[in-house]
Amino acid sequence: MAETVEDKRQIGLTLAGSEALGKLMEEGLFDSESDAYKLAIAYALAKGVHPDAAPSGGYQTKFNAAGGIDIDGQVRDLISVLLPDCSERPYAAAERLAEVGLCSLAARISAKESLADLLEEVLSVSPALE
């Protein structure tokens, strides 16, 4: 019988993800790091990223999952619906999606693309998000 692995309670970023978050915060695009983290999760989901695309290790704790980033459970529920294969560990998936999303957003912002343009691109590719 397979052993059930408990979902993460604390979520974070790798060094690269932390640097990406720092770049976005330096640009003044977000009021808080948690806002940037949540948008990165949504951005990665909208771009069709699977958590397996992120590094599998090297994460340093940054946020409390259910008690901080996702107090209302919407991140957990969204991941469970959009990525059914991640429904048993949605916060582990969220951590990895945030990693990919932050790195992608920071790279594109550094290339002088605007956050508004990036979000508009996601909306045009994902009409269900409108």
Residue 127: its pLDDT value, please?
47
Give the pTM: 0.90
Helix axes 74-82, 90-110, angle to 10 degrees: 90
Distance between CA 105 and CA 70 in Å, rounded? 21
Average pLDDT of each block of 10 consecutive residues along the chain (130 residues)?
78 97 96 96 94 95 94 95 95 97 96 90 63
Indicate whether 1 belongs to any domain.
no
Indicate whether 2 belongs to any domain.
no
The tally of domains found in the chain comes to 1
Write out the residue range of the structural domain in which residue 72 sits: 10-129
Q: 8 and 92 in contact (C-beta within 8 Å)?
A: yes
Indicate whether 4 belongs to any domain.
no
